[in-house]
C-alpha cells in the first residue's frame, strides 16, 4: 500500500473505531477492522457497520473497556459490543469455528491468537481481509480478496461445497453480494450454489428474508442474479418455481410468467420502496393456478386474487412484518384493477387504498406494462400518467374521497333524530358515494338536504320492502 492510500483509508475510518483499535493496541493486543467494512472501503463504498477483530479474549476486551458501557450477549461466540462515543461496535476475538452438524452454525467455537485462522472461517475472499491503521502492517489479505474485488468475481474461502455445507445461508449471501456489487460468482462457487441450494431449507426464515430483501433492494432489483439463480430463488419461494418457463399463450405476453416478472422488476424505479419491489416480484405468482386455455389463447381469470392469497402465505412464511404482509398483499390483489382516468374512479381507489398505496399501485402497473409486449404500451402508460395527474389534483384541491373529508359527520345525523348504530355509517357512506360521483357538492347544507330528501326516504322504502318480502 502506498502512503497516499494509507492516508486516504485512515481518514475514512471513523474516530470511535480508531479509538477502539488504539485502546486495544495500547493494552498490548492486536486489533484490526475486518470483513465487510474493509471490502467496502476498498470499493470506495461507505461501510454501514465496522467490525473489529482482536487477539484479546472477551474478558480481556471487557477489561480494556471497563470505563465504557459494554454488552455481553455474544460473549460465548467471542463478541463484546463496546459503546464508544454513543455508538455500538462489535469487537470479536479471533475465532476458529468448530464442526457444523446442522448446516447453520458451528457446534462450538475456539478462540485463537492467529488472525489468519480467523480470516479463514469467513465466507468469501473479499470478506476475509483485515486492516489496521497504525504501524506498517496495513492490509492483511491472505486469500487474495483484493483480486476478487478488482475482477468483480466472488469466490469462497476454501472449498465451496464444504463452506456451504457449514452454513447454507452463505449461498444466499453470495447471490446478495453479486446483486449489490454487480459481481459475477466464480465457476466452482456458482456450481456449488446450484448444487447445494437445498441446504437453504435448514436456514431460519428471518435470515433468508434479510438476504432476499437486500437482493431486491439492489440496483435493478437484482434481476441478473434472480435470472441466473432462479432455481435458488424457487428453493426459498417454491411458488415462484411454478412460474419459471410457464408460457402464457397470450398476445400481451411474449415472455413466460417468470421472464415477464423479471422484465417488470427491471423497470422498477431506483427509488421504489420494498413494498413495490415485493409486489412486482409476486404480482403474477398465482398465474399458473389461474391458467385456462380458450382455443389458442391463454387466460388467467382471477389471478390477482390468487396471487394475493399466495403473497400473503409467502410473506407470512418468510416472517415479514404485518405491515409488509398487509400492504404487499393489497398491492398484488389490486394490481390488475381497471384503471379509468376519471376523478370519480381515482377517488374510489383512493378511498380503498389511500394515497400512498395508490401511488405504489401506479408504479407497479407501469412496471407490469413495461414487462409485456410493446403492443399499445404507450397508450396504457399514458393512462397511468393521467391517473397520477388526477390523483395529484385531488390531493392538491383537498377533494373529498373518505368519510373524514365529508362536510357532515355522525353528530349531524344524531341531531336530526337518526338513532346511534349502523344506520349512521350507512348514511354517511351513501353521502360519500354521492360526493365521489359528483352528484352532490361536499357542503353541509347540500348533504343534509340529500339525507332528508333522498337517503332517509329510500332507506325507509328498503326497510318496508324487506319486511313485506
- Chain residues binding ligand ATP by CB under 6 A are 35-36, 49, 51, 122-123, 127, 167, 169-170
Quote the CA–CA distance of 126 and 147 in Å, as a whole number. 8
Closest approach of ligand ATP to the CB of residue 109, in Å: 12
C-beta closer to ligand ATP: residue 125 or 333? 125
Q: Which is nearer to ligand ATP, 51 or 336 (CB)?
A: 51
The nearer residue to Mg ion, 17 or 268, going by C-beta atoms, is 17
Site for Mg ion in 100-119 (CB under 5 A): none
For cell 494509507, the residue is 6
Per DSSP, the three-state class of 155 is coil
3-state secondary structure of 302: coil
CB of residue 94 to ligand ATP, shortest distance in Å:
13
Task: Report the nearest approach of ligand ATP to the CB of residue 84 (Å).
Answer: 18
Residue indicated by cell numbers 461507505: 46
Residue 49 binding Mg ion, by CB under 5 A: yes
118 binds, among ligand ATP, Mg ion, none (CB under 5 to 8 A by kind): none
| Total site size for Mg ion, rule CB under 5 A | 2
Query: Using CA atoms, how far apart are residues 383 and 381, in angstroms rounded to an integer?
Result: 5
Q: Furthest-apart CA pair in the chain: how many Å? A: 97
Q: Kindly tell me which of 51 and 412 has the beta carbon lying closer to ligand ATP.
A: 51
Q: Where are the alpha helices (DSSP H) in 334-453?
A: 343-353, 355-370, 377-396, 410-415, 422-437, 444-450
Given the complex with ligand ATP, which of 189 and 372 has the nearer CB atom? 189
Helix (H, G, I), strand (E, B) or coil at 109: strand
Task: Find which of Mg ion, ligand ATP, none residue 380 binds, CB within 5 to 8 Å per kind.
Answer: none
Q: Which of 36, 106, 168, 286 binds Mg ion (CB under 5 A)?
A: 36
Q: Which is nearer to Mg ion, 209 or 311 (CB)?
A: 209
Binding of residue 298 to Mg ion (CB under 5 A): no
Smaller CB distance to Mg ion: residue 177 or 275? Answer: 177
- According to DSSP, the β-strands at 95-97 and 109-111 are antiparallel
- CB-closest chain residue to ligand ATP: 36
Question: Least distance from C-beta 40 to Mg ion, angstroms?
Answer: 8
169 binds, among Mg ion, ligand ATP, none (CB under 5 to 8 A by kind): ligand ATP
- Report how far residue 412's alpha carbon sits from residue 138's, in angstroms, rounded to the nearest whole number: 76
Measured from the CB atom, the residue of 35 and 308 that comes closer to ligand ATP is 35
Residue with nearest beta carbon to Mg ion:
36
Q: Which stretch binds Mg ion (CB under 5 A): 48-56, 152-160, 251-259, 363-371?
A: 48-56
Given Mg ion, ligand ATP, none, residue 127, with its beta carbon under 5 to 8 Å by kind, binds ligand ATP
How far apart CA 224 and CA 190 sit, in angstroms, is: 14
Nearest approach in angstroms of CB 144 to ligand ATP is 15
Q: Which helix (H) or strand (E) holds 217?
A: none
CA–CA separation, 291 and 311 (whole Å): 17
Closest separation in Å from C-beta 47 to Mg ion: 7
| Minimum separation from the CB atom of position 36 to ligand ATP (A) | 2
Residue placing its CB nearer to ligand ATP in the complex, 204 or 409: 204
Rounded Cα distance, 421 and 403, in Å:
16
Closest-CA residue to 23 (of 50, 51, 62): 62
Interaction of residue 88 with Mg ion, rule CB under 5 A:
no
Instruction: Give the other-Cβ count within 10 Å of 233's Cβ.
Output: 23
**Looking at beta carbons only, is 123 or 186 nearer to ligand ATP?**
123
Closest distance to ligand ATP from the beta carbon of 272 (Å): 20
User: How remote is the C-alpha of 343 from its chain's centroid?
Assistant: 32
Contact (CB, 8 A) for 62 and 200: no
Other C-beta atoms closer than 10 Å to the C-beta of 324 total: 18
Mapped onto helix, strand or coil, the DSSP state of residue 282 is helix
Nearest to 459 by CA among 436, 433, 430, 437: 430
Q: CB of residue 97 vs ligand ATP: minimum separation in angstroms? A: 8
Site residues for Mg ion per CB under 5 A = 36, 49
Amino acid at each position: 500500500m502506498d502512503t497516499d492510500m494509507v492516508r486516504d483509508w485512515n481518514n475514512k475510518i471513523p474516530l470511535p473505531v480508531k479509538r477502539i483499535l488504539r485502546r486495544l493496541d495500547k493494552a498490548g493486543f492486536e486489533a484490526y477492522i475486518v470483513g465487510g467494512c474493509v471490502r467496502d472501503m476498498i470499493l470506495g463504498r461507505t461501510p454501514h457497520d465496522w467490525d473489529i477483530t482482536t487477539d484479546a479474549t472477551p474478558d480481556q476486551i471487557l477489561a480494556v473497556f471497563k470505563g465504557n458501557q459494554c454488552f455481553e450477549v455474544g460473549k460465548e461466540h467471542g463478541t463484546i459490543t463496546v459503546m464508544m462515543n454513543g455508538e455500538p461496535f462489535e469487537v470479536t476475538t479471533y475465532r476458529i469455528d468448530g464442526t457444523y452438524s446442522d448446516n447453520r452454525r458451528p457446534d462450538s467455537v475456539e478462540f485463537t491468537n492467529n488472525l489468519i485462522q480467523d480470516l479463514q472461517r469467513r465466507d468469501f475472499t473479499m470478506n476475509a481481509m483485515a486492516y489496521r491503521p497504525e504501524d506498517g502492517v496495513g492490509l492483511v489479505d491472505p486469500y487474495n480478496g483484493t483480486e476478487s474485488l478488482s475482477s468483480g468475481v466472488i469466490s469462497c474461502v476454501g472449498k465451496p461445497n464444504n463452506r456451504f455445507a457449514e452454513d447454507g445461508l452463505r449461498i444466499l449471501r453470495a447471490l446478495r453480494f453479486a446483486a449489490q456489487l454487480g459481481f459475477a460468482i466464480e465457476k466452482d462457487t456458482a456450481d456449488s450454489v446450484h448444487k447445494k441450494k437445498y441446504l437453504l431449507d435448514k436456514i431460519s426464515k428471518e435470515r433468508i428474508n434479510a438476504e432476499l430483501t437486500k437482493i431486491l433492494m439492489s440496483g435493478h432489483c437484482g434481476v441478473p442474479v434472480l435470472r441466473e439463480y432462479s432455481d435458488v430463488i424457487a428453493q426459498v419461494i417454491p411458488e415462484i418455481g411454478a412460474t419459471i418457463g410457464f408460457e402464457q399463450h397470450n398476445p400481451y405476453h411474449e415472455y413466460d410468467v417468470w421472464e415477464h416478472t423479471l422484465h417488470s422488476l427491471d423497470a422498477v424505479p431506483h427509488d421504489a420502496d420494498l413494498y413495490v419491489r415485493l409486489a412486482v416480484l409476486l404480482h403474477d405468482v398465482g398465474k399458473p393456478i389461474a391458467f385456462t386455455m380458450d382455443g389458442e389463447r391463454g387466460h388467467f381469470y382471477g389471478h390477482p386474487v390468487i396471487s394475493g392469497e399466495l403473497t400473503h402465505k409467502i410473506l407470512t412464511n418468510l416472517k415479514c412484518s404485518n405491515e409488509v404482509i398487509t400492504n404487499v398483499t393489497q398491492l398484488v390483489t389490486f394490481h390488475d384493477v381497471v384503471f379509468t382516468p376519471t376523478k370519480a374512479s381515482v377517488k374510489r381507489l383512493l378511498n380503498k387504498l389511500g394515497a400512498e398505496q395508490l401511488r405504489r399501485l401506479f408504479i407497479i402497473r407501469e412496471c407490469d406494462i413495461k414487462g409485456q409486449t410493446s403492443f399499445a404500451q404507450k397508450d396504457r402508460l399514458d393512462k397511468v400518467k393521467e391517473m397520477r395527474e388526477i390523483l395529484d389534483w385531488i390531493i392538491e384541491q383537498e377533494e373529498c374521497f373518505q368519510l373524514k373529508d365529508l362536510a357532515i359527520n355522525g353528530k349531524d345525523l344524531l341531531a336530526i333524530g337518526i338513532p346511534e348504530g349502523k344506520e349512521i355509517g350507512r348514511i354517511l357512506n351513501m353521502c360519500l358515494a354521492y360526493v365521489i360521483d359528483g352528484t352532490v357538492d361536499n357542503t353541509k347544507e347540500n348533504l343534509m338536504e340529500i339525507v332528508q330528501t333522498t337517503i332517509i326516504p329510500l332507506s325507509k322504502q328498503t326497510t318496508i320492502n324487506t319486511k313485506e318480502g
